[in-house]
Structures are given as structure tokens and as C-alpha cells.
Amino acid sequence: AQSVTQPDIHITVSEGASLELRCNYSYGATPYLFWYVQSPGQGLQLLLKYFSGDTLVQGIKGFEAEFKRSQSSFNLRKPSVHWSDAAEYFCAVVTGNQFYFGTGTSLTVIP
Amino acid sequence: SQTIHQWPATLVQPVGSPLSLECTVEGTSNPNLYWYRQAAGRGLQLLFYSVGIGQISSEVPQNLSASRPQDRQFILSSKKLLLSDSGFYLCAWSVGRGLFFGSGTQLSVL
């Protein structure tokens, strides 16, 4: 069965520091992978997606993610975090018509 | 461009009352439509998805139902709300690869 694991429930970083949010998936074939961001009381916004090709994908707001098949991972990164990046982040894998989400990582940014 | 509308944004309902949340998509045809629920501090739970008019798949047995009376309209309903139905409800659509969300409805059942 397909599943997505986000090991970190909550992460705190200082503004200007680098960020890496972890995502591991379980899926038999080549996955389609996504990262979403959710601000409080809002819907989810697509940050980036991976379907095939270059394993390093660029997204909006300065985020990037790297697909590593050997590690079944799709970690999200940002070189320098801004206070406005504080939000909930979700990793997702899609198979057929169904999207499977991780439980999310809550990011706090301190000045 | 495609847009998705979901309403109301917030709703407070007494236990035992009915529910109807509506979602419409513009700018696309024959989208797959989804209803998710997000409990406080938790991830997304897929409730229903639809690949076409009148075609509804339920992921979790519960007090809710869904209907798709038109190609771009998806409705989430309940005849009698329970306290446990409280949460943040999200409608989403996809055509091909990618899932796009509405702004959500915060439902409080008191």
C-alpha cells in the first residue's frame, strides 16, 4: 500500500537559517510526489512536484526538493528561511486518482 | 485559468442538525473532485472522491455523504451532525497530475 511519512511533527528554525523537511514514501513504482504548504485557516498551496526527469525540482517561494529513489525520500529544502515561511507543510504521493498525504510538519520561524 | 470555490468559510452547527457544503470548479471539464477533512493538528483524511457525475467513492465509513450533481459541483452532506464531525473540510480538484485545493470550511459542531 502507498504511504507517506513525515518524521518531524514540528521544526523550529531561525530566520535566515537553512531548512530541510523530510518526507519518505512507500510506493512500488515511480511515484509522483508533491509538497504543499498550508497557512492557518487556509487551503493547501502547491509548492512543487516531481513526476520524472531531473531529481532536483524547483518550486515557488524559493523552495526545492530532491527525489532520491535509493532512500525513498523527497525532502524539501530552502537555503534561507523567511518569517513568512512559518506554516504547515505536507508531502504527498499520487497513484491513479488518489493522493496520499503525510501527517504534516509544522514550521516555526524565530527572529 | 481554473479556480475552485468552496463555501461557507466557517460554519457553526448544533449536534443533530444537517450539513451541506458546496464546492464548484471553473475553467476545466471533467475534473476529479475530492473532499478531505483535517482535524486540529492532524493531517488530511480523504473522505470522498469522484471521477465523474454521480460517481462517488467513499474512503471512510462515517456520518457523511457526497454527491456530484453536475460535472463541476461537489457537495458534502450529513443528515445529523455529530460532535466528531468538527474539523476543517477541504475540497480539491485534479485533472491529470496535480491536486488543487479550495480555501476550506471550518466546521464547528456544538
pLDDT in tens, B56-89: 998 876 789 999 999 999 999 999 999 999 999 9
Q: Using the beta-carbon criterion (under 8 Å), do B101 and A94 form an inter-chain contact?
A: no
Give the residue-averaged pLDDT of B9-26: 96
pLDDT over 70, % of chain A: 98
Asked if B104 lies within 8 A of A90 by C-beta distance, the reply is no
Determine, for residues A99 and B34 on separate chains, whether the beta-carbon distance falls below 8 Å: yes
Q: How far apart are the first and last CA of chain B?
A: 38
Q: How far is B104 from chain A (nearest CA, A)?
A: 5
Alpha-carbon distance of A50 to A55, in angstroms, equals: 8
Percent of chain B whose predicted confidence (pLDDT) is above 70: 96
B47 → chain A, closest CA residue: A98
Cα–Cα distance between A30 and B13 in angstroms, integer?
A: 44
